[in-house]
Structure 1
Amino acid sequence: MKRRFLAILFLFCFFDNNAQNESPNILIFYIDDLRAELGCYGSKTAITPNIDQLASEGVLFSKAYTQQAICAPSRMSTLTGLRPETLGIYSLFTPLRKVHKDLVTLPQLFKENGYKTISVGKVYHAGNDDEASWTHLFKREANTYNDPKNLALIEEMANKGDKSFKGPAFDCADVEDEAYKDGMVTKNAINTLHQLKNDKFLMFVGLSKPHLPFNAPKKYWDMHDKNKFEVPSKDSPENAYRLALTNWGELRAYHGIPKEGDLNDELTRELIHGYHACISYVDAQIGKVMQTLNELDLRKNTMIVFMSDHGYKIGEYGAWCKHTNLEIDVRVPFIISRETSYKNRVAGAVSSALVENVDVLSTLAEICNLEGPKSDGQSLVPVIDNPELKWDEVATSVYARGKNIMGCTATDGQWRYTEWRDANTHEVLGAELYEHKNSLLSYKNLSGKEVYSDIEERLKSLLESQFPRDAKPFPQNDIPRK
């Protein structure tokens, strides 16, 4: 009897341990232009019940950072585990494989280890970049407008031969979710989950909203009251370096947006309304995919990562879009929820550990027992299992202004220090120090103030640990615009 009991106990432990060691499926929601303001992040204006639910099932990182606040370099960094200053790519215009033909990317690593690798929606900025690393690569959906007035305007401009016409900055039509591109992305993701439910998979679901234009079905606009949105202060940071901000990125190119000067309050609220409508639209798509995982009984062995490529400004500092080293542009939402079968699964936790998008590759490689390529990031498994664990002292990002000036920035989670350097000599052309203990925004550059000298010296030391002053020139495999 005793032998039988011991045999049963051994078998139980054997299978339990095997279950723990089994590599999970991975599903990554990769969102475009989403800043760290959601319901689960304490926002009073975002309506995101599905993302909030996901946060309650995992670990929410309150101090997560991207490596550059622009789509292409940020996404390449995530998918290679290498920082932009390692890749030498800082602009939108150079595909990864044009200069790095032999790098082993995240999807390539998983594909070579027997996983089905699926790219749905916007994953890389260039839709066909690294296409050999995917077993299933869906063609990117085109931008879509559905409001009859906007469609008529677009047709009119096309008939005039205006190929540069970008269309209106927002669109609101009473249509189904699939009428806009993220609804189609979600449909493709759901169909693929049904097809591959018996396979091991790594799936990226790249949702392009809330990237401009702010196009979403009317029901998501109706969830928000435009008049309740506050117009942000147009004040820029006092004594900021001359290149700290930009002239709004791509927003100026859209129809109805003035080519210079500030927006009036009404148009500002309209755009803020559209940004929030798009977030609620994305949230609903995430809910549909999560529901499918549950219906197919896949959640028990599927790990979820929710992340954004960078933050975003919606009128703060009198500016729009991203393209800076400011906290609001480099801090990102980041949630990791382990598969429900994972014995040490932590749910509903908030971690203030400094983590970075560049850590994703190393993290997933360890979780799935794969030997990953050399990475600039590190595995977050210890902090996922123990969210209160003391972690890194610093997170860093870069932003190039043309080929001659590089902005290097570092945060300790409370303070942000930035140096604008000559990209070849590392001579410091300007410095900024901002406090961010309680806000994504800061309006005074405190660099050079004697009362903050100890803080500045400490942050300067943290910055130089990643960007030594005696280093070689920053590698540049493309020439970014100023």
Structure 2
Amino acid sequence: MAKFNYIAALSMLVLTACSSSKVKADLSATQTKEPVNVLVFLVDDLRSDLGVYGHKHVKSPSIDKLAAEGVKFSNAYAQQAICGPSRVSIMTGLRPETTGLYTIRRDGRLRPNQPDVVSMPQLFKENGYKTISIGKVYHSVTDDQENWSTHIKKLDNFYANAENAKTRFAYEAGDVDDKFYKDGKVAADAINTLKQLKDDKFLMFVGFSKPHLPFNVPKKYWDLYDREQFSVPSRDKPDNMYRLALTKWGELRMYGGIPQKGDVDDELTKTLIHAYYASVSYMDAQVGRVMDAVDEMGLRDNTMIVFMSDHGYKLGEYGAWNKHTNMELDTKVPLIISRELSHDNRQTGKTSEALVENIDIFPSVTQAAGLPTPNIDGKSLLTVTDHPEMPFKKAAYSLFNRGKIMGVTVTDGLWRYTEWRDAKTQEIKNTELYNHTTSNVATANVADDKQYAEIKERLKALLHEKFPQDAPSFYEKRHVINN
């Protein structure tokens, strides 16, 4: 990965503040063309293992085609590697430390904690847009329900095989068509809904669950791969890794056939990796079905497309699975933005190495639609989509909580620095510094190595810009900047 030349970014458009009581826009001042629609594919547990990102095995033709029609971001990051808080962060443009949401428990829902927050669907709906949620968008089905014009939450037929259903198996290659499993139904609902929206301006979120567990997809997607083509990653933990940096990946251990203690052996590791990539290809096919419908209905001229993931994933690296950490594999995500065909400076087939964050999606889509943006944590990416070669941010930030200890982390795209703090007092308990100049997999914590002292101090200064040590407790109710 080439080093970034951090120069001053181009001036961003001034974003108009708005209150949560009413967020009406003066569209005449900002739009002279047909209103821009927004379609967001929000995918669960997808790391940047796609053909367009250079993965040598995965087959993702639909997503690759979408990237050829827009800008691919190679350094995009989630703000927390867990579904609930990450999705609330995306939908509000607020960092988890602003919302105070760090869990997927009942107290981790949006409205009970932040009743006055202005969400993305709320903003669009109050400005005359039809707002559509299909599949998994928020983690909680009831979050923001009142701000969706159409809200379709599908239940999954988890298993085609009755024996698998009895044991809740982690994977399945069902001899079924795409619509048997959830994401096929989600794609069908999206297509049917689009047919009803041809004459309306809309914000649509299509939430695909795969490649989230269980890895249950039609057999034809398993048949795209030979399990022997997959190698077993090293189970070695980085030297001097902090004791709370990884989890015991209990999410995977909930399923039948998975050892309750110890590592997954080589054969099962290959099977699970095979299952994950089969799930990616299944999800990719559903993206293709929806995009074909957009094109066939003539909606592409004025529809902006965003493809994104809520966080990354581990596939046996460090002997670990799932997400739930501050590590690069869990926080780094794929992101593709393809502007509407009518956009004057539309860029296609371009890659941006700019550092960007999931919280930047909210202001990007509001600016594209000509709507006022609340005073939020994210910054619009539209200047970067028009000029993919430009830098954007100095750093990207994430966090993960371990009860009384909070891990806060920063990356400059080459190195990752993490502090583990007392969540109440902000006292630093441990630090980590990982080199990611050549790989997303960390090998050694060099935070105490004098050879890297200058890098550590530079990243520490960046981290403390967002997480100052004199900040209040992470669990203290905070002022939300929308108020």
Same fold (TM over 0.5): yes
Report SS of the residue matched to 1:452.
Answer: helix
- Which position in structure 1 is the counterpart of 2:337? 336
Report SS of the residue matched to 2:217.
Answer: strand
Report SS of the residue matched to 2:286.
Answer: helix
Q: Given the superposition, is the C-alpha separation of residues 126 and 476 from structure 1 closer, same or farther in structure 2, using an over 3 Å criterion?
A: farther
After superposition, residues 19-34 of structure 1 pair within 5 angstroms as 21-34=33-46
Which is greater in Rg? 1
Could you tell which deviates more after superposition, 209-218 or 373-382? 373-382
Could you tell which deviates more after superposition, 405-414 or 248-257? 248-257
Q: After TM superposition, give the deviation of residue 473 of structure 1 in Å.
A: 1.3
d(CA) in 1 for partners of 2:423 and 2:30?
51
Letter in 2 for 1:122: K
d(CA) in 1 for partners of 2:30 and 2:122?
26
Alpha-carbon contact 2:49-2:55 (below 8 Å) kept: yes
Report SS of the residue matched to 1:354.
Answer: strand
1:102 paired with 2:116, answer yes
- Which position in structure 2 is the counterpart of 1:410? 410
Q: Given the superposition, is the C-alpha separation of residues 231 and 377 from structure 1 closer, same or farther in structure 2, using an over 3 Å criterion?
A: same
Letter in 1 for 2:163: K
Q: Which runs of 5+ in 1 are unaligned?
A: 1-16, 155-166
1:424 paired with 2:438, answer no
d(CA) in 2 for partners of 1:149 and 1:221?
19
- Which position in structure 1 is the counterpart of 2:77? 65
- Which position in structure 2 is the counterpart of 1:159? none
- Which position in structure 2 is the counterpart of 1:267? 268
- Which position in structure 1 is the counterpart of 2:225? 224
Could you tell which deviates more after superposition, 94-103 or 316-325? 94-103
- Which position in structure 2 is the counterpart of 1:35? 47
- Identity across matched positions, percent: 56
d(CA) in 1 for partners of 2:48 and 2:157?
24
TM-score (norm 1): 0.91
d(CA) in 2 for partners of 1:477 and 1:28?
31
After superposition, residues 128-139 of structure 1 pair within 5 angstroms as 128-139=142-153
Alpha-carbon contact 1:249-1:322 (below 8 Å) kept: no
Could you tell which deviates more after superposition, 138-147 or 458-467? 138-147
1:90 paired with 2:91, answer no
Q: After TM superposition, give the deviation of residue 21 of structure 1 in Å.
A: 4.1
Letter in 1 for 2:298: D
Q: After TM superposition, give the deviation of residue 20 of structure 1 in Å.
A: 6.3
Q: After TM superposition, give the deviation of residue 19 of structure 1 in Å.
A: 8.0
Pick the aligned partner of 2:135 from 112, 121, 127: 121
d(CA) in 2 for partners of 1:45 and 1:260?
30
d(CA) in 2 for partners of 1:72 and 1:140?
17
- Which position in structure 2 is the counterpart of 1:176? 177
Q: After TM superposition, give the deviation of residue 475 of structure 1 in Å.
A: 3.3
Q: After TM superposition, give the deviation of residue 46 of structure 1 in Å.
A: 1.0
Letter in 2 for 1:201: F
Report SS of the residue matched to 1:333.
Answer: strand
After superposition, residues 362-377 of structure 1 pair within 5 angstroms as 362-377=363-378
- Which position in structure 2 is the counterpart of 1:245? 246
After superposition, residues 8-23 of structure 1 pair within 5 angstroms as 21-23=33-35
d(CA) in 1 for partners of 2:266 and 2:224?
21
1:446 paired with 2:460, answer no
Alpha-carbon contact 2:154-2:185 (below 8 Å) kept: no
Q: Given the superposition, is the C-alpha separation of residues 89 and 476 from structure 1 closer, same or farther in structure 2, using an over 3 Å criterion?
A: farther
Report SS of the residue matched to 2:433.
Answer: strand
CA offsets per residue over residues 416-461 of structure 1, 9 Å max, x none? 0000001111111000001111211111101010010000000000
Alpha-carbon contact 2:62-2:285 (below 8 Å) kept: yes
Count of equivalent residues? 448
- Which position in structure 2 is the counterpart of 1:111? 125
Q: After TM superposition, give the deviation of residue 144 of structure 1 in Å.
A: 1.7
Alpha-carbon contact 1:86-1:475 (below 8 Å) kept: no
Report SS of the residue matched to 2:419.
Answer: strand
d(CA) in 1 for partners of 2:195 and 2:216?
28
Q: Given the superposition, is the C-alpha separation of residues 18 and 405 from structure 1 closer, same or farther in structure 2, using an over 3 Å criterion?
A: closer
d(CA) in 2 for partners of 1:329 and 1:32?
12
Letter in 2 for 1:23: P
Letter in 2 for 1:436: H
d(CA) in 1 for partners of 2:35 and 2:466?
33
Letter in 2 for 1:366: Q
d(CA) in 2 for partners of 1:225 and 1:380?
39
CA offsets per residue over residues 9-56 of structure 1, 9 Å max, x none? xxxxxxxx9986443110000000000111000001210000000001
- Which position in structure 2 is the counterpart of 1:311? 312
Q: After TM superposition, give the deviation of residue 374 of structure 1 in Å.
A: 1.8
d(CA) in 2 for partners of 1:276 and 1:193?
28
Alpha-carbon contact 2:36-2:340 (below 8 Å) kept: yes
d(CA) in 1 for partners of 2:319 and 2:476?
31
CA offsets per residue over residues 279-319 of structure 1, 9 Å max, x none? 00000000000000110011111100000000000101100
Q: Which runs of 5+ in 2 are unaligned?
A: 1-28, 479-483
1:144 paired with 2:145, answer no
d(CA) in 2 for partners of 1:271 and 1:343?
44
- Which position in structure 2 is the counterpart of 1:462? 462
Q: After TM superposition, give the deviation of residue 248 of structure 1 in Å.
A: 1.0
Alpha-carbon contact 2:31-2:370 (below 8 Å) kept: no
d(CA) in 2 for partners of 1:177 and 1:20?
41
